[in-house]
Amino acid sequence: MTLTVRLVFLLTFCFGFGTVDAQSVNDHGSAADHHSPEIECGSHDEYDPAGVILHHIADANEFHVVGDFTFPLPVILYAPDHGFTFGLSSMFHHGQTAVDGYVMNHGRINRLTDAPADLMEGHHVVECIAHSSTEIDGKTRDVYSALIDGERYTLDAPSVGDGGLLGGGITSFYDLSITKNVFTMLLAAVLLILLWWRVARGYKKNAGKAPSGIQSLMEPFFVFLRDEITIPMIGEKHYERFQPFIMTIFFFVLFANLLGLVPIFPGSANVTGNLAVTMALAVIAAIVAYVHGNRHYWEHTLWMPGVPALIKVFILTPVEILGLVIKPFSLMVRLFANITAGHIIILSLISLIFIFGNNGESVIGAGAGAVVAVAFTLFMNCIELLVAFVQAFIFAILSASYIGAAVEDAHHHDEAGHHGEEKVAEGGVMGGAVTGMHTAAD
Amino acid sequence: MSTLLLVDFNVLKPDLGLIFWTVIIFLALYFILGRLAWEPIQKALRRRDEEIQTSIDEAKRAREEMQAQADENQRLLIEAREERTRIIGEAEKQSKEMISAAKNEAREAAQKVASDAKRDIDNMRKAAMVDLKKEVGTMAIEIAEKILQKDLKSDANQEAFVRELVRDLN
């Protein structure tokens, strides 16, 4: 195991630094060429904490390691009018080169709009990327544009699934790249597979014996999740079918959370603090619950027996149907908000150093800021460590409770009305408990 | 500072690519870990639970068996003790009986011997008496013959002599 891990790390680093070195040489070359237009476009002399923080918690197409070094990531882009574009993110030279009409804007790939056809093919030099705010439909929006051969071209962000509600929506291209977050998820998946493969091997090796080594370290997690989540939430009868799902969701969320807390290279990505990730996980959990919902569950959700038809039509059924959506929505928002909040707080505290230091002019201020920031960051990191576990636990326990409600057998059908009340009361207590935990963790 | 606006808060915008990869990675992880780890671990844990339960049951059964064995031993011991007492008592009784029987027998035998001896003695005495009487008779006859031959020349002598003889006889 240790040998395998060492080899994997060695290969990753060899590959990584090999490409990084090549890339940084290119960077210096092009930086010298385009020094003057960058100043024209306005460089960032002022320290802008909000911009830095939002940049750090956002997803990116390249993985920043240290200084000018970035770890290039594979790029997979699709534009309906152009087809697929593949490559490594290093080919964009941090925004100084446009490839097939794609430009890197603050780590994210954007696409030129209204550009002549020859710009949409091959490599072109980008003089700079400018930023302005304009009013569109009464809302202020950030507009970025790229300056190529003296012409300004507005940039399109990748398509997002917000339906245009948050200023996104479907644009001229789709970004299916292995981004920083995808890379971290893959890393978490690989680590989980290595870890649990080794644990499972222990069971084969120590069959009929006491567990040893990593097996005895991880076994309490498995047993805890089984005895504290799956069995109480889903019930003795059905829990075995869902134990693998609950285990996977708990550990996937936990590892993504923990990797996000690591401040250096393979970590630091804000994976579970990205709505796309939590949305995908919450929807998967909801689908698992609703697909396994039995007749009893759907009857009680859509047409509660023992309640007057009018109440059912106008109150109960609409509320229950809303509930079907709200359940995964709350899962999605809870995890996203907790993790993003943690990242923002830590980055804000780190920003204090630069704010107190007055952009490097006041060393004493920077020193004082550093003392304060280090103390508070240390404290926040401890809290975030707790939050990483608590949120993974809450995500798992709530998924399990939704599944448990869906697969629960009809116990006393004759007093169905009473049963319904009981369920609601149970839900209230559960919700209260979870909210309590959640607030405490915050 | 326009970056402060919520519109640029792009972690809120669910990136389609990220959703796609999250689903793919999560499902792949679920299937791989399910096949590689969860199922074997679940099976191993269940087997271990069963083994522990069986061992506990087995131990309980063994203890009960041992207890039963010990009870049985105790019972056997008590029985053996009783048996011993009984046997000893019986033996004592038997020996007493035997002794008394032997005594009786001996007494009887002695009595028999004594009575036999008595009877023999009686018989012998009677026989001796008969012999003696016969002898005395023979001697009387011989004496009578001699007397008769010597003194029976006078009647008076004869008579006196006979009388004397008869008197002596009685």
Flag if B51 and A270 touch (Cβ within 8 Å).
no
Flag if B26 and A284 touch (Cβ within 8 Å).
yes
Note whether A347 and A376 are same-domain residues.
yes
pLDDT value at residue A191 = 94
Flag if A160 and B30 touch (Cβ within 8 Å).
no
A&B contacts, CB < 8 Å: 177
Query: What is the ipTM metric for this complex?
Result: 0.80
Note whether A77 and A204 are same-domain residues.
no
Note whether A292 and A357 are same-domain residues.
yes
In one letter, which amino acid is A267? G
Mean pLDDT of chain A: 79
Contact A102, A127 (CB under 8 A): no
Note whether A203 and A188 are same-domain residues.
yes
pLDDT value at residue B151 = 63
Number of domains observed in the structure of chain A: 2
Q: Which of A177, A200, A229 is the last residue of a domain?
A: A177
C-alpha span between B70 and A412 (Å, rounded):
51
Note whether A219 and A255 are same-domain residues.
yes
Note whether A167 and A307 are same-domain residues.
no
Q: Which of A146, A177, A208 is the last residue of a domain?
A: A177
pLDDT value at residue A385 = 94
Highest mean pLDDT among A47-51, A252-256, A317-321, B135-139: A252-256
pLDDT value at residue B152 = 64
What is the average per-residue pLDDT within A422-435?
A: 42
C-alpha span between A172 and A169 (Å, rounded):
10
- The residues that bridge with A125 in the sheet, in sequence order, are A97
pLDDT value at residue A329 = 94
Note whether A322 and A405 are same-domain residues.
yes
Tens of pLDDT, residue by residue over B107-165, are: 888 888 888 888 888 888 888 888 888 888 888 888 878 777 776 667 777 788 778 87
Domain ranges for chain B, please list them: 15-169
Contact B32, A79 (CB under 8 A): no
pLDDT grade for A2, boundaries at 50, 70 and 90: low
Chain B residues with CB under 8 Å of A177 CB are 17
- The residues that bridge with A61 in the sheet, in sequence order, are none
Q: Which of A116, A150, A177 is the last residue of a domain?
A: A177
Note whether A160 and A258 are same-domain residues.
no
Note whether A24 and A103 are same-domain residues.
yes
Q: Which residue of A has its CA nearest to B20?
A: A176
Tens of pLDDT, residue by residue over B11-59, are: 788 888 899 999 999 999 999 999 999 998 988 888 888 989 999 999 9
Assess A176–B contact: CB distance below 8 Å, yes or no. Answer: yes
Question: Chain A, 21-60: which have a CB under 8 Å from a chain B CB?
Answer: 48, 50-51, 54, 57-59
Give the range of the structural domain holding residue A159, as residue numbers without chain letter. Answer: 2-177
Chain A residues with CB under 8 Å of B49 CB are none
The model scores a pTM over 0.80: no
Note whether A253 and A364 are same-domain residues.
yes
Closest to B14 (Cβ–Cβ): which among A142, A182, A275? Answer: A275
Assess A192–B contact: CB distance below 8 Å, yes or no. Answer: yes
Note whether A157 and A9 are same-domain residues.
yes
Flag if A284 and B23 touch (Cβ within 8 Å).
yes
Note whether A204 and A73 are same-domain residues.
no
